[in-house]
């Protein structure tokens, strides 16, 4: 236990959150920008629905449109 080489490998594989924070924030910004585009299309689209989360709405729409059974897995 406490082998310096193992500790070094673990630290390399699992960097501290301070090292990951910039990447997480960049990814968060990309996600929010994509969501803004989706919401913009929903405002302009036929259904004009911003009151439901877009991914859940799309899934529920496809489930109804294609007559997918409502199962435990979905």
User: Domain coordinates of the chain in residue numbers?
Assistant: 17-74
Q: Which two tokens stand for residue 56?
A: 């859940």
Q: What is the pTM of this model?
A: 0.43
DSSP code for 46: S
Instruction: Give the whole-angstrom CA distance, residue 11 versus residue 44.
Output: 48
- What does the pLDDT look like over 55-71, one tens digit per residue? 787 888 889 999 888 77
- What does the pLDDT look like over 8-60, one tens digit per residue? 999 889 988 899 899 999 999 999 999 888 777 766 556 566 666 777 878 88
pLDDT at residue 35 in the model: 84
pLDDT at residue 48 in the model: 63
pLDDT at residue 74 in the model: 59
∠ CA 55-33-53, rounded to 5° = 25
């Amino acid at each position: 236990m406490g082998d310096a080489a193992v500790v070094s490998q673990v630290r390399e594989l699992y960097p501290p959150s301070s090292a990951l924070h910039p990447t997480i924030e960049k990814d968060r910004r990309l996600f929010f920008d994509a969501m803004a585009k989706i919401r913009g299309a929903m405002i302009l689209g036929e259904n004009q629905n911003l009151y439901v989360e877009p991914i859940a709405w799309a899934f529920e729409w496809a489930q109804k449109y294609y007559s997918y059974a409502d199962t435990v897995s979905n």
